[in-house]
Structure 1
Amino acid sequence: MENQDLVVGLNKIKQGNKDWVDFVKNDVSGRFEQLAKGQQPEILWIGCADSRVPANEITGRKAGEVFVHRNIANVCVHSDMNMLSVLDYAVNVLKVKHVIVAGHYGCGGVAASLSRKQYGIIDNWLSHIKDVYRLHAAEIDAIENKEDKENRLVELNVQEQVFNLCTTSIIQNAWKERDDLAVHGMVINIGTGELIDLNATFTSNDALGKVFAFQ
């Protein structure tokens, strides 16, 4: 490896791991020994892949307390086997109690979905967010400020992805068996660190509408 910037970057990664190893070695709480035996998180976090929104730090949780799935703009679609596999494992094996869809203001994916510019293969993924815009076009178009327009779509996107999760067979079948599972929609304000509850919480399929709610 001849590029010195790459060498320096790799060395920082390795040093960071050494520091972490030392921290684990010197921890006297016993929690890392427990983590080595398994995990029992209560939260499944479905968030954006953006580097500024780490789930554990935002929720004040330690290692082993949050099961995480992240993608561009926290999209949850019924054809995404990656997301569905994570959801199934989290709900049916780990028995998480809270599934959180977490968007964030200033989301580049959401901003890109409001433009007509092509970015590459990601354009196909962003079409899911364009569909959210299509459902709420009148409201979004009525907002004049560009940042406010994008941030409102961030909120609406979270709400739609929460609905998508709730209509999966995974969540609905779990609700048939247990009453301690909730799906929430939240948005992160990166500038303040605040996790904003959008009051988009479902604990059953009662409010989904009859064509979406399985019997």
Structure 2
Amino acid sequence: MCAKKIATKDISCETLLQGNKDWVEEMIQTDPEYFNILSAGQTPPVLWIGCSDSRVPANQITNTMPGDVFVHRNIANVVVHTDMNLLSVLDYSVNVLKVKHIIVCGHYGCGGVKAALGNKQVGIIDNWLRNIRDVYRMHDREMETIKDPELKFDRLVELNAIEGAANVMNTSIVQNAWSTGQELSVHAWVYSLKTGLIKDLKVTSSSLDDVTPTFKVS
């Protein structure tokens, strides 16, 4: 029996703790060995690089369970080579967990991408959003042809995910895995808050052949 959902306005530390107890009870009723199995270790086949937005939880929108998806999230699912947090997650995922898929998933309606489209100062996050403005600059010819503001917003969300996937495959971490024959694919996806559906942007890389010469390492 599913626990009653708490209205957002009524959420507190106490309700969160009670919710945890209700969830544990529900899981044990479903499978008495659930937590014994879960605590034995993890072998997730997927690394998910997504946005920190509270409306885009990787497990729920992919209908997967704890232990199925290794997750890294940041504002606007940005992938840059100077982010040691992301690189540490990527290295562990590829070299220890041996994931088979790395998914960079953006989402339409992303507040970070929208802020990057404007000129209003937000705070220290402005420095982070500079990475998305760089994506715009790289695709400025295409972006300037899009006159509808919403379509332009959506396209930048897509391009940010695509460039994020490219930055993943350009890392020495992924390229070294490919050079040893490790099975690994990198994908770019976008999630829609309006429909709940994920769009595959048809950008998938699975070998060193997909890396441009400029970024190849040896």
TM-score range, shorter chain: over 0.9
Say which of 207, 211, 218 aligns to 1:208.
211
TM-score calculated relative to the size of structure 2: 0.92
Taking a change above 3 Å as real, the CA distance of residues 157 and 71 of structure 1, as seen in their structure-2 partners, is same
Q: Give structure 1 regions of 4+ aligned residues with deviation exceeding 3 angstroms.
A: 5-8
Alignment-derived partner of residue 79 in structure 1: 82
Alignment-derived partner of residue 138 in structure 1: 141
The unaligned stretches of length 5 or more in structure 1 are none
Say which of 72, 91, 96 aligns to 1:93.
96
Taking a change above 3 Å as real, the CA distance of residues 23 and 160 of structure 1, as seen in their structure-2 partners, is same
Deviation at 1:26? 2.0
Q: State whether structure 2 residue 191 is matched by structure 1 residue 199.
A: no
Alignment-derived partner of residue 58 in structure 1: 61
Deviation at 1:192? 1.1
CA RMSD in angstroms comes to 1.7
The aligned amino acid for 1:63 is P
The unaligned stretches of length 5 or more in structure 2 are 1-7
For residues 149 and 94 of structure 1, what CA distance do their matches in structure 2 show? Answer: 37
Deviation at 1:127? 0.2
Q: State whether structure 2 residue 155 is matched by structure 1 residue 152.
A: yes
SS in structure 1 opposite 2:12? helix
The aligned amino acid for 2:125 is I
Give the length in aligned residue pairs.
211
TM-score calculated relative to the size of structure 1: 0.93
Counting aligned pairs with the same residue, the percent is 54
Taking a change above 3 Å as real, the CA distance of residues 8 and 34 of structure 1, as seen in their structure-2 partners, is closer
1:206–1:213 Cα contact (<8 Å) kept: no
Deviation at 1:211? 1.9
Q: State whether structure 2 residue 8 is matched by structure 1 residue 19.
A: no
Deviation at 1:140? 1.2
